[in-house]
């Protein structure tokens, strides 16, 4: 028989799983329910019990509170997010046919003790699953406690031998040991200075607690004195920790069977909890003693069937053509231009386009290889259509012409997982991939931007609720196809993945259509992928000697700063060790710390060191140490950035081929990896010098930097419709000075530098969802002063205030926010019972529409700029996209055409109440092109 401490397991489940990842659309946390059931099922599958009983505490006091008034008095109240789930756990147990037991006036521990005793009396080997050490007193030859370790799976079987090995007493003596030691968690005081070791020594010497008390006068020293002073407390402790083993629970052993599942109740509850079909099936298999098929649940909206295709053989162009004609859908229209995929976007169309039927009638392509720019390869590819699949070698010279014809003719009905990655891999075989119908990777991202699944397997598991084996290689830029689990049948694996992608398409298309996201996929995300493919393939040219010179310069200065810091400290120090730095600052130099870290030590982060540096007297020992330390950290970081760039230079062409990612940031902004070019500093002179290492390549004469000016604030003016803010842009004056004059009620020319910077921070803070506390930290003022500034700002720009307020309240109702172009981000935590989670969701809801709109505008600008360059048949090309900036490599003799062309494409990406403004600069390197 298995007896379970229900509250103990619920608490462990709640703290083991992040509540943010387990919350229904209406804000109900489910992490404790999910964790409780899955942990319990693990134990059932491992131990295979015949009988099962769950014990729960009942609200209200017990007899122990009468014995010891402070009993458990120091325990904090359970979080509301957990308390709301306890009834759901009990409902789930009832639906699964599991008996749970409560007894008013007694603790769950007493129920556990009684159930375990009932099992032992009936001749059952009994297991007690509990994280409470009081259960150790139940242990004997027939009762074993399953005691969880740090990880739940590390369940230690506490037998009599295990108790004696750990505590050096028998299980029957353990309550005596606990009475002497006390129990901090239950607020039971023990004998001061007496822990497990001394308690066990006395018990072994005198036999029991009674024997110890009889010989209390014989025990010498401070511990003996402490024992005599606390004998009454120890006796009381022993009464309190004794478990009751003979309660009338109104249940019998026969009542503790399980396996009779109530399918309708399971379906209703699990649908409410929004558990996927895979979770439901797994739990049914554990708790059901009948075949699972008897209680098969209907497929949920988020699940998809994986159909095994009929595998056909293709070995010639004729057989390939015949297979395509028989199985692949015929496109409604065919664009004959070889690079039509670059011209699919005119203007963004907000209307919802039906795509479900088109995807259901589509075909699927999966390429197996690596899509990392500069290291691209393709090994094989699978095609699947109409329930049939083939695997072909794209390098087969006899098939390539027909493959290209198939792509040209049928790409408009094609589904892939990662268009950009497939464009790279097919290009490695000399094949061109036109624009496709649907990308399941991008579609999954549009549906759930917070989900960070990259591989086909991860997306299949998440959206289809199926269990698949995945690869350890999930690096960005490589389409992870998983381990070869077919005994070397790589072609079979590729076909299986095509089946996953087909199912993903059928699952995601109706969701994309229902949530009005297909225009984003069709008109923004897919064409952006095409532009990024061209940028990644081209790469950015680098002056290696310039980069090496910068690296050496930063390395020398970093070492110099290290020497200066150690001279000021008076000894050698590991500059990267927060502990050693803290010892020098707070112990040796006696400085007053600014704040503590979460682990309790004093902070030595950059902000704390800067504060200490500003407090220090110029020329003092601590001033010299802090100055050198700060500069060392800065130069060391710059050195590491340059080293990363040097290591990323492709020896074949001397260029850096970063991977631009569309599915990482929750707002829709692009990011880059391998290397990350967006972390190159632009706010200090040394960081900007790194940009001087990026140059035009052979055949190109200069670089163009085109940068949006104040794009987030212009979007905020558009979305809020605030006339005063719109007029501030239209005035032509210094925007931040003009706004500061309105906020403080003074002429713009009288605005001080501090007033201007404070209002600038306020404006951007609102656009980024910055809290009042965050603003106060950024400005170095009190929270009250920051709040006063915010109130002044809102008095001036009332519609901005109304817009932001409406934004959160509407998101709380609908569950999501939208950008100008309809990009959604969902915020279930807006209804969370946890204030911290709710506040974070509110900040995200304030941030998402503005940042997301800026991301959409930049993507449209990239598409328009690329199309303009192609339409004019220019050789100039987009090299980089960093934040709100495009960097274009200008071909010889094309500057006068390219600069206005790119500027126009960016400024007319969208029409706002406040026109977009783009600053441009041209130079022999990226830094020189700054403006």
Same domain, 9 and 140: yes
| Cβ pair 476, 420 in contact under 8 A | no
**What token pair was written down for 885?**
């900036």
**What token pair was written down for 244?**
């009751």
Domain boundary among 505, 538, 571: 538
Q: Tens of pLDDT along 641-668? A: 999 999 999 999 999 999 999 999 999 9
Q: Distance between CA 790 and CA 23 in Å, rounded? A: 33
Look at residue 69 in the predicted model and tell me its pLDDT: 64
- Point out the residues of the chain with pLDDT beneath 50: 290-304, 334-346, 470-488
Tell me, yes or no, whether 928 lies in a domain: no
CA atoms within 13 A on the CB side of 638: 29
Look at residue 383 in the predicted model and tell me its pLDDT: 96
Structural domain of 444 = 310-538
Same domain, 134 and 248: yes
Domain boundary among 592, 621, 648: 648
**CATH number for 844:** 1.10.150.20
Same domain, 500 and 358: yes
Look at residue 483 in the predicted model and tell me its pLDDT: 37
**What token pair was written down for 633?**
């950290």
Tell me, yes or no, whether 66 lies in a domain: yes
**CATH number for 517:** 3.30.420.10
Look at residue 467 in the predicted model and tell me its pLDDT: 74
**CATH number for 128:** 3.40.50.1010
Phi, psi (deg, nearest 5) at residue 203: -60, -45
pTM: 0.77
Look at residue 342 in the predicted model and tell me its pLDDT: 37
**CATH number for 581:** 1.20.1060.10
Q: In which region does residue 387 sit, left (phi positive, over 0), alpha (psi from -120 to 50) or beta (all else)?
A: left
Interior/surface letters 369-386, b for 16+ CB within 10 angstroms, e for the rest: bbbbbbebebbbbbbbbe
How many of the other CB atoms lie within 10 Å of CB of 824?
A: 21
Look at residue 66 in the predicted model and tell me its pLDDT: 62
Q: Tens of pLDDT along 118-155? A: 999 999 999 999 988 889 999 999 999 999 877 777 78
Interior/surface letters 263-301, b for 16+ CB within 10 angstroms, e for the rest: eeebeebbeebbbbbebbbbbbebbbeeebeebebeebe
Q: Distance between CA 798 and CA 795 in Å, rounded? A: 6
Q: Regarding beta strands 671-673 and 659-661, do their DSSP bridges make them parallel or antiparallel, or are they unpaired?
A: antiparallel
Q: Distance between CA 752 and CA 766 in Å, rounded? A: 21
Q: Whose structure tokens read 């060790």?
A: 577
Q: Regarding beta strands 885-891 and 918-923, do their DSSP bridges make them parallel or antiparallel, or are they unpaired?
A: unpaired
Q: Distance between CA 165 and CA 558 in Å, rounded? A: 54
Same domain, 476 and 580: no
| Among 215, 216, 241, CA closest to 230 | 216
Same domain, 518 and 404: yes
Tell me, yes or no, whether 167 lies in a domain: no
The residues with which 381 forms a beta bridge, in sequence order, are 367, 392
Tell me, yes or no, whether 640 lies in a domain: yes
How many of the other CB atoms lie within 10 Å of CB of 195?
A: 13
| Cβ pair 313, 389 in contact under 8 A | no
C-alpha distances out from residue 481 to 213, 468, 491, 647, Å = 69, 11, 11, 27
C-alpha distances out from residue 230 to 15, 37, 175, 192, Å = 36, 43, 16, 9
Tell me, yes or no, whether 88 lies in a domain: yes
**What token pair was written down for 882?**
């960093």
C-alpha distances out from residue 442 to 504, 667, 815, Å = 11, 14, 21
Look at residue 481 in the predicted model and tell me its pLDDT: 40
How many of the other CB atoms lie within 10 Å of CB of 698?
A: 7
How many domains does the chain divide into? 4
Q: In what helix (H) or strand (E) does residue 311 lie, and over which residues does it extend?
A: strand 310-311
Same domain, 354 and 415: yes
Same domain, 461 and 380: yes
Same domain, 412 and 551: no
Three-state DSSP class for residue 55 = strand
Tell me, yes or no, whether 226 lies in a domain: no
Q: Distance between CA 628 and CA 342 in Å, rounded? A: 52
Tell me, yes or no, whether 76 lies in a domain: yes
Q: Distance between CA 644 and CA 842 in Å, rounded? A: 36
Same domain, 457 and 373: yes
325 contact partners, CB below 8 Å, separation of at least 6: none
| Among 793, 867, 859, 790, CA closest to 820 | 859
Look at residue 71 in the predicted model and tell me its pLDDT: 58
Same domain, 523 and 552: no
Q: Distance between CA 295 and CA 408 in Å, rounded? A: 47
Same domain, 436 and 375: yes
Tell me, yes or no, whether 868 lies in a domain: no
Domain boundary among 518, 538, 558: 538
Same domain, 359 and 507: yes
| Cβ pair 447, 521 in contact under 8 A | no
Q: Distance between CA 615 and CA 401 in Å, rounded? A: 72
DSSP 662: S
How many of the other CB atoms lie within 10 Å of CB of 466?
A: 18
């Amino acid at each position: 028989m298995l007896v379970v401490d229900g509250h103990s397991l619920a608490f462990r489940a709640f703290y083991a799983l992040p509540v943010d990842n387990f919350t229904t659309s209406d804000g109900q946390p489910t992490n404790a329910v999910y964790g409780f059931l899955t942990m319990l099922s693990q134990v059932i599958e491992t131990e295979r019990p015949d009988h099962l009983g769950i014990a729960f505490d009942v609200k209200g006091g017990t007899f122990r509170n009468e014995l010891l008034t402070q009993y458990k008095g120091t325990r904090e109240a359970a979080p509301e997010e957990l308390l709301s789930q306890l009834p759901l756990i009990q409902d789930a147990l009832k639906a699964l046919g599991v008996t749970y037991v409560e007894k008013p006036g007694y603790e769950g521990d007493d129920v556990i003790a009684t159930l375990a005793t009932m099992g032992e009396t009936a001749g059952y080997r009994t297991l007690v699953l509990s994280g409470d050490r009081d259960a150790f007193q139940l242990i004997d030859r027939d009762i074993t406690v399953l005691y969880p370790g740090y990880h739940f799976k590390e369940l230690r079987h506490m037998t009599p031998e295990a108790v004696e090995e750990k505590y050096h007493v028998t299980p029957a003596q353990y309550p005596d040991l606990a009475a002497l030691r006390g129990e901090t968690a239950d607020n039971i005081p023990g004998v001061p200075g007496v822990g497990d070791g001394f308690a066990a020594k006395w018990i072994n010497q005198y036999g029991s607690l009674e024997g110890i008390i009889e010989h209390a006068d014989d025990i010498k020293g401070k511990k003996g004195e402490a024992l005599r002073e606390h004998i009454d407390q120890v006796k009381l402790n022993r009464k309190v920790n004794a478990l009751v083993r003979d309660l009338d629970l109104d249940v019998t052993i026969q009542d503790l069977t399980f396996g009779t599942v109530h399918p309708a109740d399971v379906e209703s509850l699990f649908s409410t909890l929004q558990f996927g079909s895979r979770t439901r099936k797994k739990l049914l298999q554990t708790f059901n003693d009948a075949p699972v098929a008897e209680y098969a649940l209907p497929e949920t909206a988020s699940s998809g069937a994986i159909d095994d295709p009929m595998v056909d053989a293709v070995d010639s162009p004729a057989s390939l053509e015949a297979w395509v004609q028989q199985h692949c859908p015929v496109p409604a229209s065919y664009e004959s231009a070889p690079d039509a995929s670059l011209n699919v976007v005119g203007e963004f169309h907000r209307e919802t386009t039906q795509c479900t039927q088109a995807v259901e009638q589509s075909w699927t392509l999966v390429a197996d290889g690596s899509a990392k720019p500069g290291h691209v390869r393709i090994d094989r590819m699978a095609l699947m259509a109409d329930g049939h699949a083939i695997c072909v070698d794209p390098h087969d010279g006899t098939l390539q012409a027909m493959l290209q014809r198939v792509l040209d003719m049928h790409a408009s009905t094609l589904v892939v997982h990662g268009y950009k990655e497939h464009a790279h891999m097919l290009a490695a075989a000399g094949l061109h991939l036109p624009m496709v119908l649907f990308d399941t990777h991008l579609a999954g991202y549009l549906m759930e931007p917070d989900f960070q699944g990259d591989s086909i397997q991860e997306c299949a598991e998440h959206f289809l609720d199926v269990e698949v084996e995945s690869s350890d290689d999930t690096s960005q830029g490589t389409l992870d196809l998983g381990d070869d689990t077919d005994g070397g049948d790589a072609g079979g694996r590729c076909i299986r993945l095509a089946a996953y992608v087909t199912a993903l398409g059928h699952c995601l298309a109706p969701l994309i259509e229902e949530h009005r996201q297909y225009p984003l996929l069709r008109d923004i995300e897919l064409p952006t992928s095409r532009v990024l493919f061209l940028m990644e393939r081209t790469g950015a040219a680098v002056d290696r000697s310039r980069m090496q010179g910068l690296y050496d310069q930063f390395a020398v200065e970093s070492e110099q700063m290290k020497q200066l810091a150690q001279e000021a400290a008076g000894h050698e120090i590991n500059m990267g060790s927060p502990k050693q730095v803290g010892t020098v600052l707070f112990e040796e130099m006696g400085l007053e710390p600014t704040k503590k870290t979460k682990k309790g030590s004093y902070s030595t982060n950059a902000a704390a060191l800067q504060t200490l540096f500003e407090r220090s007297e110029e020329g003092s020992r601590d001033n010299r140490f802090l100055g050198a330390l700060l500069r060392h950290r800065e130069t060391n970081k710059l050195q590491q950035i340059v080293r990363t760039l040097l290591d990323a230079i492709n020896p074949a062409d001397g260029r850096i081929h970063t991977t631009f990612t569309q599915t990482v940031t929750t707002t829709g902004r692009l990011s880059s990896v391998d290397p990350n070019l967006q972390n190159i500093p632009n706010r200090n002179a040394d960081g900007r010098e790194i940009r001087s290492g990026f140059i035009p390549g052979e055949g190109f004469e200069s670089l163009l930097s085109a940068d949006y000016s104040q794009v987030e604030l212009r979007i905020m003016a558009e979305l809020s419709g605030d006339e005063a803010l719109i007029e501030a842009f239209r005035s032509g004056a210094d925007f931040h000075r003009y706004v500061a004059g309105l906020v403080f009620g003074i002429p713009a020319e009288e605005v001080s530098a501090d007033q201007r910077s404070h209002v600038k921070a306020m404006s951007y803070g609102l656009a980024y969802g910055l809290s009042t506390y965050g603003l106060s930290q950024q400005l170095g003022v009190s929270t009250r002063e920051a709040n006063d500034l915010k109130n002044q700002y809102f008095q001036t720009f009332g519609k901005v205030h109304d817009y932001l307020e409406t934004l959160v309240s509407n998101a709380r109702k609908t569950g999501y926010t939208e950008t100008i172009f309809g990009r959604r981000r969902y915020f279930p935590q807006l209804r969370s019972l946890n204030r911290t989670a709710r506040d974070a969701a509110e900040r995200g809801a304030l941030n998402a529409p503005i940042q997301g709109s800026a991301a959409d505008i930049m993507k449209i600008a990239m598409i328009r700029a690329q199309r303009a360059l192609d339409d004019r048949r220019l050789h100039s090309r987009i090299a980089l996209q960093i934040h709100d900036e495009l960097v274009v490599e200008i071909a010889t003799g094309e500057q006068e055409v390219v600069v206005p062309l790119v500027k126009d494409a960016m400024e007319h990406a969208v029409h706002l109440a406040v026109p977009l403004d783009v600053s441009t600069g041209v130079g022999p390197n990226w830094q020189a092109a700054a403006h």
